[in-house]
Structure 1
């Protein structure tokens, strides 16, 4: 729960510091500008609000690790992926995107703080505790923070503790650890296919892990 708050607060603060020009730069999500990513974050915040008020009365079927599905790399044909850039462009003024994220994002943050970690919630045909659900989202927020700042070298990076926790979460999903010499940021970027490994990094990964990446989360 604390990691959710730290990563979400840091991500929203990074968005707040963006200029209009920053919003037009590429993000770390292939085919999306920074403004498109911010629009996606608004939808993510709405999903958090919806899930936290969707109680379940059955036993959990997933936890913070099994919440994630491994999917095929995006092709650009998904209707939602295509909708996001059009929706972001419809805002016109980038300041409206920032305002909407601050409004909905603040509400999602408050809802997370008020949630009972042991309460069971339902999302994507899965049941899990609110604590596990919010823990899973630390990985989402941290990856998107890296996406947001991929081409903005002066922007604030994700907090070190959320990077470390996100790396551990990705290792749990992979079922194995990344090489110790990889920084947390490198492990996340390489592990999720956000950048290809160098020849030396491929060697360090080893055959088992190299065949598992990229881990595309859905």
Structure 2
């Protein structure tokens, strides 16, 4: 629960620190500018609020690892929902409006997470999770999108180290394969999710596990 809050606070702070011109830069998400990614974060925050307000009396059907669906092909940005996000982001026109909306909805999502019972059960996508597992999935979501946000902003603050480490561990659990210990957590996440290709040296160091990566998570 604390790691969810730290990861989410760091990401929202990174958005708040963006200059207006940064919103027109590419993000690490295929086909999306930074403004499109920030709009997606608003939608994510709404999803957190909706899910935490959707209790279930059924037994959990998934956990923080099995939550993730793995696609066979990388995203292209042409998915209808991705295209809708681009149109919604453009409708804001001014970056400060996006910042305000994310701060407003995002703060509410953060408070709801802090107030939720970790052992409670909630439903989303016709699946049931414990609150703890559900929020754990968002540690990886926030961490990956933090890396996406700063992909072309080299001086920006990195995601929290503990979020990077936890996200790497989750990715390795999903893949049932581990990265070499020499890999920095952020490099493991970027390579492991197809956000960048490994160098020749990294490819050689990966060895057998290289066949398990990248994973295209959704």
Q: Which category describes the TM-score, using the shorter chain as reference length?
A: over 0.9
Matching residue of 1:213: 213
The total of aligned residue pairs comes to: 217
Deviations 1:84-115 (A, max 9, x none): 11110110011000000000000000000000
Match of 1:158 in 2: 159
**Following superposition of structure 1 onto structure 2, how do residues 156-195 of structure 1 map, counting pairs within 5 Å?**
156-195=157-196
- SS of the residue 2:135 aligns to: helix
- Give, in angstroms, the shift of residue 169 of structure 1: 1.0
| 2:216 counterpart SS class | coil
Residue pairs, 1:90-169, within 5 angstroms: 90-169=91-170
Indicate conservation of the 8 Å contact 2:56/2:128, yes or no.
yes
Measured in 1, the distance between the counterparts of 2:181 and 2:197 equals: 18
Q: Which runs of 5+ in 1 are unaligned?
A: none
Residue 131 of structure 1, CA deviation:
0.5
Q: TM-score, normalised by structure 2?
A: 0.97
Q: Which moved more, 1:75-84 or 1:32-41?
A: 75-84
Instruction: Give the match for residue 63 of structure 1.
Output: 63
1:197 counterpart residue number: 198
Q: Deviations over 1:146-183 (max 9, x none)?
A: 00001011111111111111111111111121111100
The whole-number CA distance in structure 2 between the counterparts of 1:57 and 1:37 is 34
Cα RMSD (Å) = 0.8
Partners of 2:175 and 2:3 in 1: CA distance: 21
